[in-house]
Chain A
Amino acid sequence: MQTQSLFGTETDINTLMGKRKRIGLLWKVAFLFSTTLAILFLILLLLTVIDSSFGYVALRNEVEPSSLIAGKKSVKDFSRAELERVAATNLSSGILRRVEYEKPLEQRTGNDLVALLEQYVIKPKVLKTWGLWDSLTHTKAIDEYSRSEEGSYLTFKSWINAEFFLADQSADPLHAGIRTAFLGSLWIILITFLFAFPIGVGSAIYLQEYAQDNRLNRILQLNIFNLSAVPSIIYGLLGLAVFVRAMQSFTSGSMFSSLTDATANGRTILSGGLTLGLLVLPVIIINTQEALKAVPASLRMSSYGVGATKWQTIWHQVLPASGERILTGTILALSRALGETAPLVVIGASTFISVDPTGIFSKFTTLPIQIYQWSARPQGAYRNLAGAAIIALLILLMLMNSTAIYTRDKLAKKKRLES
């Protein structure tokens, strides 16, 4: 064999082959290790969140149900007549008046009355909460605590439940919910989308299809790249200065006087949406440009070849061909916006708000901000609430992304099969 002269002996070849394979194996193991590490951390995150969302709670009632109706340990056991009677007699006058005004006691459902009594009469107070792990493993310690505390009792609470979604913010952790924050997030994302998508895609089309390749445009391109890397809090400051203060009459709606929520001044959903819109705008532009670049030149050439104008080519050929990618990129950008906290805090999301947003000129709060606020509070129960809210946020994100992927796949299938 000729190979002997230039490639060494057969043993040399075999030794080298072994070495080459070993190096390859080494790299493979390194990559596998890094992947495993990443997955481990993600699992850890998930476990932490789940841990704080379920667990035992030690409660103490201010007024025991048995003191109101003898022999009944829980308000839920009260009869209908008893519920009304206790409510009428034990609710403070102010609260009673307001409750009657909203809806008379006779018309309210049993569950409604139970909730009222719980909230305003029984007033269970949270003494201590435990996470899921602790709840499962340290039951003895929990029992001891409960016995040591006078009048306390334990319940196993799942912090994430239907009530959680439907209730609004409340000082009482047991009755707190994310409804307001959830709606706020949805409204903001809607405004962000309506603002950033047309402008972003339009700019990208201009830059990619129409603009000349001269110095000015190259500088412009570079600046867009830089803007996408700017910390989000800077956008918050920008939004504060421009949308909240300078454009106050527009963003607060006082321009359109019939629609105002007079207390909002400039710190409205509109401002928040526009600020986040600016934040994701560079990302959408860059992503759309990449999608347009990925469309092969041959498609454009063949379109021109049958006598199409530039716009006809873009609208009928280039955009449909790149549509999927543009959509995916936009959804990703919006998912990021959904999780933004700092800029909206700077804009002035309300710290405590119990009224749902009614329109773009409303005050607002968002899910991430709610999570931030709850996790900053000292009482342990709020940690659990934060965990539950994180799960809610994750569910929302998953829904958004799944819808995007589903829509994209459906479009792709349609495209593959027919025109």
Chain B
Amino acid sequence: MEQKQKSLLDEKMQFFQEMLIQMGNRVEEAIYQAQHAFLNHDITLAKQVIANDWFIDQLQEMVENDGVRLLVSEAPYGHYMRHIVAGMKIVSNLERMGDHATHLAKMTISEEQELFIPFVERISEMALLGATMIRKAVEAFIEVKSEKAMEVAAMDDQMDAARDALNASLYSLKPNNEREMKRILNLFYLTKEMERMGDQVTTICRWIVYMDKGQRPRLNGPKQEPSNQNMS
């Protein structure tokens, strides 16, 4: 009877985890495909990415419902509780990342690609980094290894550096006409989107550390506490 009980809750948890892993995989795929479409101006692929976003949203809904049901019916403690709470948070981050991939795809459809090709490449690289980060994060999630998660979070530094460099380059550009202006603005936007993807993965990693250790350290680099003067 003990063994049976053990597998029942563990089975339910396994199902919960599976959905999240699936979602992570799909997000990774979406980013990779969006990046490919953006680089090669592949409108068909871009449209596919946009269509696939629906699956990601469905998975989010399923995970959230399942999570609440587990909390109510199982009233879990220990790692079960941590995993469910973490899962509920991670699912939001994954869904946002899916949106970023979709935005990248939408940009592909609406823009002329011939302008500022080097930037397109650099943005693609950022996207690829994002895809790598999410893949490694999913691995850390499966193994529930906080060390691995922290390694992935550290990769966000690369993302930030890439964004800073890109921004600097973009600032130095002088648009000649309205079309170019629009294009530069869009490139800024995409840069920000890619950088945000990195932040999302970092947040996911925080929650993986929570799953493993029960703590949530800040992994994005130091954030200053505001001084007392600001609190009035």
Asked if A and B form a direct contact in the complex, defined as CB atoms under 8 angstroms apart, the reply is no
List residues of chain B with CB under 8 Å of any chain A CB.
none
List residues of chain A with CB under 8 Å of any chain B CB.
none
